[in-house]
């Protein structure tokens, strides 16, 4: 049992590691008793390889949870296999909605057209919640620069009712990400070169024109900027699934 509530633990951890570099935040997060059992959640998207590479250096056996929504680009699935093998990650777990859940809620694969939130809930949020039920904290690749909702992101934040979230790259700039990839000769997601700086499911991701926000190609035209596994203002964004 932990000795304090989530907000107190997050504040204590942020104070403890406030001046640490990203890789040291990660290294210490996987062993700090204030975190408990930890997993990395990775989309194997445009910038995911940075954090995956750091994990390969400090804890290659750390559980890595990859959500296969069954609507991903083929390039993402191939990239996931390539990066996992190249970096020597030994516990990559592919998680997804069950066949019965898909059959009950999205049998023809068109739910995203009428209710994108419900589609994300079935295909991402619910499977991830099940997978994370055995963990006390999880690591994300979110960064302050990605959109306005993340502008105040800290290394550690509470996820009520019982988990913490770790964001080692919270303070990185876009150029920091690119420099790290170049310096470590990391493989790029093949869709980045085709104009996809942020990559999600194929039906809901479009290329981004020069000068547009990098995440503008996600759910273009919808009042939506998060898939539901991330939250705004300290609370999880999770819509109920429509029958």
Asked whether the predicted pLDDT for residue 229 surpasses 60, the reply is no
Q: When comparing pLDDT for 235 and 127, which is higher?
A: 127
> What is this structure's pTM?
0.86
Q: What is the pLDDT of residue 147?
A: 60
Judge whether residue 20 has pLDDT over 50: yes
Residue 121, pLDDT > 80, answer yes
From 120, 201, 204, 227, active-site residue: 227
More confident residue, 66 or 211: 66
Any idea which fold 6-236 has?
A: Rossmann fold (3.40.50)
From residue 66, give the alpha-carbon distance in Å to each of 93, 128, 184. 6, 9, 23
Q: Delimit the domains of the chain by residue range.
A: 6-236
Active-site annotation holds for 227: yes
How far is residue 194 from each of residues 78, 141, 202, 206, 210, measured CA to CA in Å?
16, 22, 13, 10, 12
Contact status, residue 191 vs residue 217, Cβ threshold 8 Å? no
The whole-number pLDDT of residue 212 equals 85
Average pLDDT, rounded, for the chain: 87
Average pLDDT estimate for 144-151: 65
User: d(Cα 53, Cα 241) in Å, to the nearest integer?
Assistant: 35
Can you read off the two tokens belonging to residue 220? 């273009």
Residue 241, pLDDT score: 34
What integer is the mean pLDDT of 109-130? 93
The arithmetic mean of pLDDT across residues 13-31, rounded, is 93
Using CB atoms within 10 A of its CB, is residue 86 exposed (0-12), middle (13-18) or buried (19+)? middle
Residue bearing the bigger pLDDT, 227 or 85: 85
Answer whether residue 238 shows pLDDT above 60.
no
Edge-to-edge strand ranges of the sheet holding 92-95: 92-95, 64-67, 38-41, 137-139, 163-166, 156-159
216 vs 208: CA distance, rounded Å: 7
Specify the 3-state DSSP secondary structure of 149. Answer: helix
């Amino acid at each position: 049992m932990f000795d304090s509530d989530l907000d107190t633990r997050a504040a204590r951890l942020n104070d403890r590691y406030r001046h640490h570099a990203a890789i040291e935040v990660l290294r210490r997060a996987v062993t700090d008793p204030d975190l408990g059992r930890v997993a990395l959640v990775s989309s194997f998207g445009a910038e995911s390889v940075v954090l995956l590479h750091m994990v390969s250096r400090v804890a290659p056996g750390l559980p890595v949870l990859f959500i296969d929504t069954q609507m991903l680009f083929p390039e993402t699935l191939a990239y996931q296999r390539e990066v996992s093998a190249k970096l020597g990650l030994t516990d990559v777990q592919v998680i997804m909605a069950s066949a019965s859940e898909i059959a009950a809620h999205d049998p023809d694969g068109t739910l995203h057209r009428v209710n994108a939130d419900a589609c994300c809930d079935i295909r991402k949020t619910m499977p991830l919640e099940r997978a994370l039920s055995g963990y006390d904290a999880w690591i994300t690749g979110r960064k302050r620069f990605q959109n306005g909702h993340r502008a105040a992101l800290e290394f550690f934040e509470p996820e009520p009712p019982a988990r913490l979230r770790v964001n080692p790259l919270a303070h990185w700039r876009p150029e920091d990400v690119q420099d790290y990839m170049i310096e470590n000769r990391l493989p790029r997601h093949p869709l980045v070169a085709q104009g996809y700086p942020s990559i999600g499911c194929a039906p809901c991701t479009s290329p981004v024109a020069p000068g547009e926000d990098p995440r503008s190609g996600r759910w273009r035209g919808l009042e939506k900027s998060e898939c539901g596994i991330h939250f705004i203002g300290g609370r999880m964004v999770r819509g109920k699934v429509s029958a």
